[in-house]
Structure 1
């Protein structure tokens, strides 16, 4: 009895410690960014002005860059991760499956700065010479697409950063999906095959519904990785504070702005504005996590209503 009492209370202390640590981080960021919050207020969120010399700061360009690169990463990375997981867990057998799984694990262990250097030295020149000119020419004359893929072929930019992020989140999402797909009871799949279902139908109607909640969690894990990535994005995004609608133009993200400028920030408002960017990223991550939780609750309620 005494051992259970000590164990349960000790684990409760650990859980509350994590919560308090999170509150302390948020509180310290808010206190340090208070001068910027008082000086600019809500205007900080809707202004794209970033002029350290004159003391004018706005987070709109960094927020848009963060969201755009993350959306690109998810649009490219999630389908690839899902395909890799299905191939390893449901299709491939033997050595091929083990080799691909090992390569995926190795990708997860590569430092982000290596991805950034590879993106700057290899991927960006390739995109500038072979991909961006073709896409820009094809989008000419098409409304919205012309603006979305316009501009000079620089190689670096928002699209390149999103592509690097997609490559980086693939190991995290696919590894968790592989384990989830393999956790599906074989009897469920065998029953589906027994009534004549194809492999695609088994994956779509048996495997995916069984691990749906876990899939959402793994996708949110990849999104969190994309939102907070710093070094790889800093190498290839161009670090421009100018707001642009083109994916091929340079931009910036919240984390890249903080990493680039914090050491050079002087005075009162400059470092406070960078720390306010940190607060925004913190809140943005929290809102995305809360949305994922609400989505899971909605799924659970639908299942409960169906039963």
Structure 2
């Protein structure tokens, strides 16, 4: 059997593939795993004979028909145009985040055995007036193109699951921090940049007020939760398949305190405050805390603290 990972050549996708292979080696998957297929615009760089890389347009039906077949037991749909890129190019975001999601679901629908379908959503589906802690049944009211298209994706994936065409798990991920590498097109990219760059002696800019509250997860914890989503038995899941993945709730000011605790005062001094209204309009519309009792009961888990996420990044990429 195989598992297909869209966005499999990316930072998160590569780590998901690695953890899926480790889970298979440990006998944790509900089926044998012979191949993980990375489907992305770029080839996967993972060096494992069980990883097969396909490149191309995710909205291309012919490509999906070649990649997804009777041996496909699972699909991770991680590929997306991120928040900043969606704000800049509506049509591209619609093609990738809506049209390609629909095409992927249609391809999966034609399989005789419904595959497990993991769709990564975002807290950007929320906006408007919100309580301090968002309950699991709060209606979505996105205030960005990215959030709107993720909300559309949630509805589509859940409907295909309700019809029995896929076995869906819709993972609303926290903002990932600290993400290694270069800044990306997400409006929340600063949430990693204000930690990552100063820990490496590089100045960084904070574009939002320090009292902005954020819902965060380290990359390792996010990946562990995404793999766990595959393992949760379908009978334990609610009919509405959206799962608010646990995170830690911290203000940006508290994030900078964690930076100073790990990197010292000299690292904190490298962060300057330069308000950016375009970033604030998107990020400050997002919730900063969720009621995750239901997902905790299913075995999902957050980081112990944001400082632990900073120390994790420092140990792996700086020290």
- TM-score after normalising by structure 2: 0.23
Write 1 or 2 for the structure with the bigger share of helix. Answer: 1
Write 1 or 2 for the structure with the bigger share of strand. Answer: 2
| Structure showing greater relative contact order (alpha-carbon pairs closer than 8 Å, 6 or more residues apart) | 1
- Rg larger in 1 or in 2? 1
- TM-score after normalising by structure 1: 0.23
